[in-house]
């Protein structure tokens, strides 16, 4: 059985849940794909756990990383460069202005000839071309299904099932928090502030919710979809962004009178994030904290995907999709 | 560039449209995948066009097959056995009782060591295990994305993007004709007979619509999904089937009063096809001739796919998905 070696960089919610899923699915993956995975390092910016023969994931999950007796001060960039592995998983939270520390992690892994799988939107949205060109030069792959739409396999759907199609447009609901707020406001006739507060209480929105409600998160995902599904070369500043703060009960009532709901839509062809009227019967008219994406293709017509757009467990499904794709090729 | 040789068996609506798409996408496929495809034979039961160096598809598409000057009486089963090729496309319409002539075509191709790609539901629904076991024995693959959901890549979504997931259930709207009729009845308050007549006038329903409206088509697709996504070993007779003839304006009004619509749902876990109440806000509540499938998974949660469930052009997208998957592996 082929053994695939992984380095996990970033061991927060997503990293830990990914490790749990990997551990739980060991037998399933070995039976189905004839592959074994071992995690040879878990790294944070200023320290790491390393075992070139494979870490005991159960133990690593039990305690905080820095309290693990094997924890050393060996830094992530050093681990990525020096520890032998096939794939580096970049699972840190990204800074949307600089893309760091993820960007440096990714470039370092490619430099060392390692494939990359990431859930980190910022570096992919900021430096798509640079990353992809450097990967090509080094004969490596960078996969990023988990950056858009949580559990929904949008990018791999296009890559692995709609191969013959050219994508004419991609648009939809790419942020579950705003969709939850808009659904709440419409269904229960409450104001924005009350709906936001409930989203915060449910853990669906940060205490500073501006990243979601001002449309920034949607715009970042739109940039990734534009560059990867439609061969564009755009960045965040090219996108016209309006959030949902201006939506109020009058606009929602007016929408309803026209048989529609208001949804925050990211639209690649229009390069725009804005609240839009979506007819009640339209497949994109989805309530609650879900994501929904419409891919307009030349042969298959419109394909709509709906699913859970966030959450560490669901995101692990997308990470595993990329990891298994790369693993199977190495087999 | 690797050249993949195809035999097309059955050159009706689907076969011709597939050939058109293949011809139109030649350059795209070669640039993107480094693959060339040549069609070395087009066969019907009692005759065929054969050119081992590759047929001129444009010419083949111009006239009726039997009027082509190169047409000979060489039968499909002989062509499948003797003409050298990588993949046999089985695109004939199938008889749901016997699975013929598709079943014989598929077994013959496997016997000759050829992979199979098919849009023909009947043999796959009737003889799934036998076909798959024989394929394994011969080291060949049988792919059938086009048998369920038209353009919607349900089977390859599971195979190629949700790899780590176990499927707990699959259910949804698998027949566009009945969904068109139910939508029409509900939205315009017309009777079943009137809605059916309009579906027939639009070419969405056959003059004998029983295969669709009695739920048979949905049940056949449910069997394929059960066996391929959930490892079951069921056949048509195991499914409890009720169609939509009993749905009337009173039931529809009652559904509306409860904030729901009636949709014909095929449900794998329940092994049942029946009209069900679907809440207005549920992602499966889709109007018109679309298909919508919900895949319940253990890691990714629920993934819903919506798209065009029929049509020769859209079905070609699914056929090409399988053909390219197999072609890329041979590269």
Query: Which pLDDT value is given to residue B190?
Result: 93
- Chain A residue numbers with beta carbons less than 8 Å from the beta carbon of B321 are 161-164
Tens-place pLDDT, residues B22-71: 999 999 999 999 999 999 999 998 899 999 999 999 999 998 888 889 99
Query: Which pLDDT value is given to residue B330?
Result: 75
How far is B278 from chain A, CA to nearest CA, in Å? 13
DSSP H or E stretch at residue A240: strand A240-241
pLDDT for A265 beyond 90? yes
CB spacing of A153 vs B303 below 8 angstroms? yes
Query: Which pLDDT value is given to residue A96?
Result: 85
- Chain B residue numbers with beta carbons less than 8 Å from the beta carbon of A300 are 151-153, 307-308, 314, 317-318
Of A28, A151, A165, the CB nearest to B300: A151
Of A21, A151, A164, the CB nearest to B29: A164
B221 as an active site residue: the answer is yes
Q: What is the mean pLDDT of chain A?
A: 95
Distance of alpha carbon B49 from alpha carbon B67, whole angstroms: 11
Nearest CA in chain B to A295: B307
**A150 in helix, strand or coil?**
coil
User: Are the C-beta atoms of residues B301 and A314 closer than 8 Å to each other?
Assistant: yes
Q: What length is written for chain A? A: 331
Confidence at A286, pLDDT banded by 50, 70, 90: very high
pLDDT for B331 beyond 70? no
Tens-place pLDDT, residues A182-235: 999 999 999 999 999 999 999 888 888 999 999 999 999 999 999 999 999 999
Q: What is the dihedral of CA A283, A288, A289, A295, to 10 degrees?
A: 10
Distance of alpha carbon A3 from alpha carbon A24, whole angstroms: 17
Query: Which pLDDT value is given to residue B64?
Result: 86
Tens-place pLDDT, residues B160-194: 999 999 999 999 999 999 999 999 999 999 999 99
Tens-place pLDDT, residues B190-246: 999 999 999 999 988 888 899 999 999 999 999 999 999 999 999 999 999 999 999
Q: What is the dihedral of CA B314, B149, B215, B97, to 10 degrees?
A: 80
Of B160, B280, B299, the CB nearest to A317: B299
Q: How far is CA A60 from CA A83, A84, A291, in A?
A: 18, 19, 32
Of B281, B287, B303, the CB nearest to A151: B303
Query: Which pLDDT value is given to residue A317?
Result: 96
Query: Quick one: tokens of A116?
Result: 């990359």
Average pLDDT over residues A92-120: 95
Query: Which pLDDT value is given to residue B46?
Result: 85
Query: Quick one: tokens of B115?
Result: 């992979």
- Chain A residue numbers with beta carbons less than 8 Å from the beta carbon of B162 are 153, 317, 321
- Chain B residue numbers with beta carbons less than 8 Å from the beta carbon of A293 are none
Q: Is the sign of the CA dihedral B281, B283, B285, B286 positive or negative? A: positive
Query: Which pLDDT value is given to residue A331?
Result: 61
Q: How far is CA B139 from CA B110, B116, B132, in A?
A: 9, 12, 10
CB spacing of B317 vs A307 below 8 angstroms? no
Query: Which pLDDT value is given to residue A215?
Result: 97
Average pLDDT over residues A321-329: 94
pTM of the model: 0.95
pLDDT for A181 beyond 70? yes
Average pLDDT over residues B300-328: 94
Question: In terms of Cα–Cα distance, which of A185, A186, A272 is closest to A223?
Answer: A272
**Other beta carbons within 10 Å of B55:** 21
Average pLDDT over residues A35-55: 95
Tens-place pLDDT, residues B288-302: 999 999 999 999 999
CB spacing of B300 vs A308 below 8 angstroms? yes
Query: Which pLDDT value is given to residue B329?
Result: 84
pLDDT for B9 beyond 80? yes
Query: Which pLDDT value is given to residue B310?
Result: 85
User: Are the C-beta atoms of residues B117 and B143 closer than 8 Å to each other?
Assistant: yes
Catalytic one among A62, A197, A221, A257? A221
User: Are the C-beta atoms of residues B264 and B291 closer than 8 Å to each other?
Assistant: no
pLDDT for A281 beyond 90? no
Tens-place pLDDT, residues B227-236: 999 999 999 9
Q: What is the mean pLDDT of chain B?
A: 95
Distance of alpha carbon A78 from alpha carbon A74, whole angstroms: 7
Tens-place pLDDT, residues B70-118: 999 999 999 999 999 999 999 999 888 899 999 999 999 999 999 999 9
Catalytic one among B32, B45, B221, B280? B221
- The ipTM estimated for the assembled molecules is 0.94
Tens-place pLDDT, residues A66-87: 888 999 999 999 999 999 999 9
Tens-place pLDDT, residues A126-157: 999 999 999 999 999 999 999 999 899 999 99
Tens-place pLDDT, residues B107-142: 999 999 999 999 999 999 999 999 999 999 999 999
Query: Which pLDDT value is given to residue A207?
Result: 84
**A263 in helix, strand or coil?**
strand
What does the DSSP 8-state code read for residue A46? T
Backbone angles phi, psi at A302, to 5 degrees: -90, 130
Query: Which pLDDT value is given to residue A118?
Result: 98
- Chain A residue numbers with beta carbons less than 8 Å from the beta carbon of B302 are 307-308
Average pLDDT over residues A261-268: 98
Question: Which domains are present in chain B?
Answer: 2-151+312-330 (3.40.50.720), 167-308 (3.30.360.10)
CB spacing of B300 vs A317 below 8 angstroms? yes
């Amino acid at each position: 059985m082929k053994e695939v070696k992984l380095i996990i960089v970033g061991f927060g919610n997503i990293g830990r849940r990914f490790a749990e899923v990997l551990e739980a699915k060991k037998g399933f993956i070995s039976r189905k794909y004839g592959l074994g995975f071992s995690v040879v390092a878990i790294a944070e910016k200023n320290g790491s756990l390393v075992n070139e023969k494979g870490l005991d994931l159960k133990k690593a999950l039990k305690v905080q990383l820095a309290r693990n007796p094997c924890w050393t001060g060996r830094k992530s960039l050093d681990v990525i460069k020096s520890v032998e592995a096939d794939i580096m998983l970049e699972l840190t939270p990204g800074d949307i202005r600089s893309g760091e520390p993820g960007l440096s992690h990714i470039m370092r892994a490619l430099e060392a000839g390692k494939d990359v799988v990431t859930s980190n939107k910022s570096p992919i949205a900021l430096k798509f071309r640079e990353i992809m060109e450097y990967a090509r030069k080094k004969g490596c792959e960078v996969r990023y299904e988990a950056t858009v739409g949580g559990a929904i396999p949008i990018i791999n759907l296009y890559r692995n099932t709609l191969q013959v199609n050219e994508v004419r447009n991609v648009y939809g609901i790419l942020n579950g928090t705003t969709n939850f707020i808009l659904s709440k406001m419409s269904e229960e006739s409450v104001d924005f502030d009350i709906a936001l507060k409930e989203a915060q209480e449910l853990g669906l929105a940060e205490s500073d919710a501006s990243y979601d409600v001002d449309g920034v998160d949607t715009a970042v995902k739109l940039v990734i979809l534009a560059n990867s599904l439609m061969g564009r070369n755009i960045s965040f500043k090219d996108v016209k962004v309006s959030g949902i703060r201006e939506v109020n009960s009058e606009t929602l009532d007016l929408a309803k009178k026209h048989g529609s709901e208001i949804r925050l839509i990211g639209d690649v062809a229009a390069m725009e994030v804005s609240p839009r009227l979506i007819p009640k019967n339209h497949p994109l008219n989805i309530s609650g904290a879900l994501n929904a994406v419409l891919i307009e293709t030349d042969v298959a017509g419109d394909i709509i995907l709906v699913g859970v757009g966030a959450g560490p467990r669901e995101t692990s499904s997308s990470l595993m999709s990329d990891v298994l794709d790369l693993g199977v090729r190495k087999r």
